[in-house]
């Protein structure tokens, strides 16, 4: 797996728009995802929001929004940037004030940073 086919993994993430958009995520320190990202750091990300399915005059359609991006992943090593990435992740999920210093899992995780070189979206909301 991974050598002859794509490897797709859902992750919790936080987004920051700088000169380039950056996605931070957290994960375990070992595993296939880590091994593959270290071997081949180029990645494709995808996200979508399913709104509803509804009938139209031509048939049935799905209302949605989606985004696809391409970039390069590296694992963050600086403590300040690790906390920054985790804060963005917490903010994305509505926990802006979560005290990261109380997180017992902090020593057992990695923070990845995907710097996106391209980002495109599509939607069918009407």
The reported pLDDT for the residue numbered 125 is 79
Contact (Cβ atoms closer than 8 angstroms) between residue 16 and residue 119 = no
Scan for tokens 């995802």, then name that residue: 33
What average pLDDT score do residues 2-10 get?
Answer: 74
Token output for 17: 């728009």
The reported pLDDT for the residue numbered 106 is 83
Structural domains of the chain in order of their starting residue, each with its CATH number? 13-46+70-118 (2.30.110.10)
Task: Give CA–CA dist 39/44, Å, rounded.
Answer: 15
Contact (Cβ atoms closer than 8 angstroms) between residue 86 and residue 112 = no
In the β-sheet with 13-17, what is the strand arrangement from edge to edge? 13-17, 21-28, 109-124, 59-75, 42-56
Give residue-wise pLDDT tens across range 109-126: 999 999 999 989 998 877
Give residue-wise pLDDT tens across range 46-96: 998 889 999 988 899 889 999 999 999 999 999 999 999 999 999 999 998
Q: Say what the pTM is.
A: 0.85
């Amino acid at each position: 797996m991974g050598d002859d086919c794509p490897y797709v993994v859902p992750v919790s993430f936080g987004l920051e728009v700088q000169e380039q958009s950056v996605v931070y995520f957290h994960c375990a320190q070992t595993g296939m995802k880590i091994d593959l990202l270290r071997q081949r750091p180029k990645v494709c990300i995808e996200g979508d929001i399913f709104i509803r399915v509804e009938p139209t005059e031509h048939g049935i359609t799905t209302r949605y929004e989606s985004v696809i991006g391409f970039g390069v992943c590296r694992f963050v090593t600086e403590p300040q940037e690790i906390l920054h990435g985790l804060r963005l992740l917490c903010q994305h999920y509505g926990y802006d004030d979560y005290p990261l210093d109380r997180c017992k899992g902090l020593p057992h995780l990695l923070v990845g940073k995907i710097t996106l070189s391209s980002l495109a979206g599509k939607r069918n909301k009407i």
